[in-house]
A and B are shown apart, each in its own frame.
Chain A
Amino acid sequence: MDERAMAGRADAGAKRDWRFAPSLLASLPPAELAARKAALRRLAAAHLPGAARAPDYDPLPVILPGALARRLGAALCRRAALLGVMIDDLYGQRQCLADGTVPAPALFSAAEWLRPMVSEAPLSAPRLVLYAADLALDVAGGAVVLRDHVDNVPGLGHAIALRRFISAAMPELLRSLTLASRQPLIERWREEIDHWAGGGPVALLESEDDDGADAALLARVLGALRLRPADLDCFGEAPEFRTLAGTETVRLLIRRMPATAIDPLEQGGAPASGVAGVFGAIRRGRLAMLNAPGTGVIAAPGVAEGVEGAIAALHRARFGEALALHRAATAVLPFAPLAPEAGASEPGTAPFVLRLFALHCGAAGWVALPGGLGLALGPDGRTQMKDVFVLDHGEDGAAPEDMAPEVVARAGGGRARAATSVLPSRVADDLFWLGRAVERLEAAARLGALALDTLAEASALPHEQHQRGLLAFCLAHQRLISPDLAGRHVAARQLRDSLTGGAVLGVPIGMVRRLLAATSDRFSATMLTTIEAALERVMAAREGGMAALVPASLALAASFAGVIGEDAAQDGAFLFAELGRRLERLFTLSGSFAILLGGAPTRLAPGIRLAVALIDAAMICEQRYGGVPEAAVALRLLLGDLAYPRSLGFQAAALAAGFARLDATAEREEARAIGLALEDASTRMAPGAALAAVEARAAGLCERLTGRLFAPPASRQHRDGAAPP
């Protein structure tokens, strides 16, 4: 039994449209379908940077005739409403316990029963706002519920976003069908959550185990932030998170983590696993959490059965008819076609369940999403997600959503959407270190390349030995070679051998990879692709040793600088990556210059030549001065020239400007002071000590920045006072 026949029996009037899918299937050969499937997944992966893996999408949709979708949607909304009534009763009067509908032992022993969430006063938002049900359709067009999703509701992001990917990968499919739009509902729901958010940001609260792809897609649809528990503190009445501009209060969290570990203060567990104080904020109406913690209890074993009986009775009492969507422990699943994987010769079929979603829209009540997800069990045992098309005209020509009249803007046109251009400190921290890592890679590549160039024609002449010694000290200082190799009489061959393979760049390359993955959702797909492509070239160049790695690393650094220069990283992210770059450049160059320029004034010339080469300033020297200038002029260029982007003074000035944007007054003043110290050093003929001091101050600046603006230290939990010690 496939969905075409099933829908055909349910709504004969829709057969004309319903049979479109087979004709499409017939028009696309298996190899082409397999290619489309691969393209769909590539497309999704490109839009889901940082996801553990690309979602298992299938390009062939489940198609629901309008009348069937309308009927299922209405039943779904009624079921959601009644489940909401039961949740309110359990966390309020508990009449269902008194009348024996729900067995007390089952309720009280359920892990999902959260006593701290019992509250006589209503919460600031309904407890149940997001609902989904996994349905098994039957041959008569009816359906039974195999599972209620009343706690976390997985798949909503996929359900909404998959259409866009399908339209790109299967354009002919959408050209020939008119589908019910989900946009009115999404817009309406966004208005509602803005209302619950009280004008503040809307945020998803995620755990490490969350489906990052689903969360990312949902966050984009809602314009929401993605936060983890460690981002939030509950200092006062509501949780806050650190941003560029200080702290931002959150009044609405869309919960993506299990309810059993949200508030370590009231639930126990590791403080980092949740947000201490968040239950109190919910109880006092200072925070809306969607869904409220504890809603999952109505699906707990032993409770669910009682709830099912109760909502059936409620349904009959309210509507005078039997519950249209009821639970079944098992059901015979219908089959849906599956596009072939690459290499397969024919499309397959697989049993599937239909996941439909309903959203609570405040005064408008529950509204079903026109569409959903088809979850088919692929031949490899993995679940493949299919879009659910709801045809926009059925037998009666009506729109499929019976909610359509209700989906109107809130009175007064709704609130202005809150600005969500805030950057959680964790993300800022990662971006800052990404900037540092890219710069560290570039600095290591430049220093390594300079060393290899210098060593290429090594001789025993004293000045060349001196240069070799200086470079060896620099390399050791930057931890690119063993300290044992640092010394004035180091053999050129030893240095070359330690650098040629390029292993010295392994650490910064690894850092860039890790941090890019951690921050990838801050970049647009195009910009991320640019950086990732450059990074892939670096990875590929590893086999070619330092000679191949240097140009690839410099190209990566240039790509990164270009991308953040285009402000691809949103919401101030650019600023943190830029601060990271400038601070790292100040730190590493001041350290290297302290060595290169640390000799006596009479022996500065070799070091200056190396310093000029290190920052790639030979060309500007040639243009301005006809070659490497005398020491005083060169020091001015290297240390104090605010117009030259590779000078140390430029880095200090850029840092001061960045800190000013952050209102980080103390850090700005320190950057200015470093700039003044560099200006002073640029006038001395022995600036080594001053530069070493600058290096130390740059390190201190990094520590201060980390402590003041970035992620707070971990908390600890205690329970005291009961038992005598």
Chain B
Amino acid sequence: MAETAGSSVKARSKQALQDDFLRKAVKFTTERLKNGKRKATEEHGNWEEWRERGRQIRLHTIAHLDYYLNLFADNARKAGAQVYFARDAAEAAVITREIVREKQARSVVKSKSMVTEELHINHVLEEMDVAAIETDLGEYIIQLAHEPPSHIIIPAIHKNKQQIAEVLSEVAGERLEPDTQVLAGFVRRKLREQFLAAEIGMTGCNFAIAETGSIVIFENEGNARMCSTLPKTQITFMGMERIIPSFEDLEVMATLLPRSATGQKLTAYMSAITGPRRTADGDGPEELHIIIIDNGRSRQLGDPDFQELLNCIRCGACLNVCPVYRHIGGHSYGSVYSGPIGAVLTPALMEDPSEWQDIAYASSLCGACWEACPVKIPLHDMLVYLRNRKVESGTTPTAEQVMFKGFNYMMSDHRRMERFLRLGKVGQKFVARDGYIRIKGPLKGWTNYRDLPEIPKQSFRDRWKELQVEIAQQPRPKTMIQDIEQRMRKVLEERSKGGGSGGGHQE
């Protein structure tokens, strides 16, 4: 995947924020998807119970992943598939290259798969001089434009009709009107030829059924069905955590995934593929190769802070509700996976997270992602753990380290803090105007975009005694969500044991 300009989230988002269309398009689309999801979940009813069931199924499967993955591989082989285990992108490339060479393939049709993006499979094929054709409408457009996807569900979300017409006109060799029907019609005809000519079809995999060895693909266009029906050879890439035990469990996933992704009751196509074509069948691939990918996923196993990341069903609901994503768009995250899930997943999949950790700061920690998640992954907590790990690794800038050392010194003694506050009240007279501090100096990361309120005459600490009396008179609120309450209690318990340093990650 081509990386977007700039090396940090800050630099990339600056570029995105200047692109007015991008920002509006992202806002428009995410809002539509978000509202669609709300409508679909309300209509269906009992959404919380479905979410909880989905979470339990994912938790159960991941907790017994050795059993279920093994069962899947055995059953897929019994059905006639060839199953491989690839540790990383390099191993996946070795397997892919060999199959492509053996089939003497000239062209490969691909349906949307985040995993193949992650593994840079197109690059592998390009090096072999084999055409890799993305066949999802959005993916096809951005492939022609040489751009990476910017949304997990709608990859070309950042391009408008005129831009798409320009890109497609070049392929057509004639001017195509910027009309959705015209453009989609052209792509249908163009890609139909490619489907029929390609020697190999490549797909991703939404779920894999352990008990039957089936792979399940959700899609709306029908291109994944084409890729898994027409070419003689099918290669399916799947993350090692895509497993669910049974078709019965698929009903829960089929309830959660489309509703969360696009607000549909079910995608136009849901295909369960078990092995290659049977000997007497008239169509379907003669060979089915399933490449199971680790690529950093197993690192989350057994990690109390991040194991739940493997529960993700890649619906994109967290992107659609994220206030940061809606402002900066997918490219700013600088990786295949964007939005809140990308901010956590990308560093988590990396062997050396230090270079990627700045995307963990592209979040306001508001928790909207967690609320939207159909399997209740606490993404906002994970973002805090990531930041914590970064601080612990000592790779934060010196100025920040010095500042927090000073903060630590000031905060560790209440008398000292009071003295500093009194000093601040006097000192701010030189910089505060109308109740706000606006100077750019050591605080510019904050004051560039917002004003810092001045220290008030009467502080919270000054009022604490009277507040304490007030609180004691009120009944304890019972609104806290049980999950959060439990988690916080756990943190408190650990802290009282003396092991923790503020609820952070411990090895």
State yes or no: do A and B come from one complex. no
Q: Taking beta carbons and an 8 Å cutoff, which residues of B are in contact with A? A: none
Q: Taking beta carbons and an 8 Å cutoff, which residues of A are in contact with B? A: none
